[in-house]
Amino acid sequence: MPRVTDPTAPHIALVGATGVVGTTLLRLIEERGFRYRGLDLVASARSAGREVTVEGHSCRVQDVDGFDFAGVDIAFFSAGAGVSRTFVPKAVAQGALVIDNTSAFRMDPGTPLVVPQVNAHVLGTRPESGVVANPNCSTIPLVRLLRPVQERWGIRQVVVSTYQAASGAGYSGVEELRAGARSVLDDPDSAGVTGTFSPSLAFDVIPSIDRLLDDGFTFEEQKMLQESRKILELPHLDVTTTCVRVPVANSHSEAAWIECHEPVDRGELVRLLAGQDEVTVHDLDTVGAFPTPRTAGDPNRVHVGRVRVAAHNPRGFWLWIVADNVRIGAALNALQIAEELTRRGAL
């Protein structure tokens, strides 16, 4: 059981405990046996007072407005950037180390932006800001594959189209997709259901995620560029993206074109990717095999398929990538940060 009496184990708090990432993080703590001596579940006033079962015991959700972080060693924040900007400074001031799953602090120079399989070395000491940032859900699987490619061949350019699931917008996104699908099936002329998404996501795709910026790109697309550069420590890396919401309940997909400085051998590339931690290459043995959000398999792994080196430009190749955006892209990465901090004694 993860809960222990060991005084060296951390006391943890989960802010956003009733959301899709928070509830997944609770499951992962139990699945992976992450040891803790105390646990506080925290959320907005709307969810405060709710009872949640953890390891067979009932836990009451506390209101973030009045929560005291004194005595908390690790505080996971997954309640939106606004909540993080308001309450993370309070948590840090009261002594907690924050692992933040929002965009609030990712580009802060004093805050490490971490994917443990890529840049765990930055977790050797407690960050001065008191915060470790969790990257965007589409950035995480991408940089996990870019790192070994950069080390072997060097990267000249990356072009990515994402196919992002409704769960990227939380429980409300999935519920709205289901309600909209029922509405359109009942009446093909229906406009579907809007609110979280506009237009309705049911039987449609929306090539715009997050707010539109002055240059015509969206904030989601900007995040993938800036975060990839910071994580890989490549400040001039050329990454351009089109981020698209698709009518899939869970798991994001990406089509990535990667152009290197040197010619790439497909066999070597496939073996290189297959050798990465927690990566499954589906066409390792069968050329052209691919994962899908429904069929990929283990949700705790990055899934890759359709690995294609271009005959007309052997420095470039395509990857088809599928990853559970709630686990790989959020909760699991956050927990692996905590595991690494604990292992390194950086708390």
Query: Nearest Cα to 97, choosing from 139, 67, 125?
Result: 125
Closest CA to 228 of 316, 141, 108: 141
Task: Name the strand (E) or helix (H) holding 93.
Answer: helix 81-93
Distance CA 142, CA 119 (A): 14
Q: Is 260 a catalytic residue?
A: no
Told to judge if 252 belongs to the known catalytic residues of this protein, a careful annotator would answer yes
d(CA 227, CA 235): 10
Question: Annotated binding site for substrate, which residues?
Answer: 164, 245
Which residues have CB under 8 Å from 189's CB, separation 6+? none
Q: How many Å separate Cα 10 from the centre of its chain? A: 23
Comparing CA positions, the residue from 166, 138, 171, 154 lying closest to residue 328 is 138
Tell me how crowded residue 278 is: count the other CB atoms within 10 A of its CB. Answer: 13
Q: Which of 11, 57, 137, 303 is catalytic?
A: 137
User: Which long-range CB contacts under 8 A does 267-270 form with residues at least 24 apart?
Assistant: 268/152, 269/149, 269/307, 269/309, 269/317, 270/307
CA-wise closest residue to 34 among 11, 16, 17, 57: 11
pLDDT tens, the chain, 347 aa long: 699 999 999 999 999 999 999 999 999 999 999 999 999 999 998 899 999 999 888 999 999 999 999 999 999 999 999 999 999 999 999 999 999 999 999 999 999 999 999 999 999 999 999 999 999 999 999 999 999 999 999 999 999 999 999 999 999 999 999 999 999 999 999 999 999 999 999 999 999 999 999 999 999 999 999 999 999 999 999 999 999 999 999 999 999 999 999 999 999 999 999 999 999 999 999 999 999 999 999 999 999 999 999 999 999 999 999 999 999 999 999 999 999 999 999 88
Type of residue numbered 167: S
**List 252, 260, 282, 303, catalytic entry:** 252
**Domains contained in the chain, CATH given:** 11-135+329-344 (3.40.50.720), 139-165+205-325 (3.30.360.10)
**CA 279 to CA 12: how far, in whole Å?**
29
Q: What is the pLDDT of residue 1?
A: 67
Binding residues for phosphate: 106
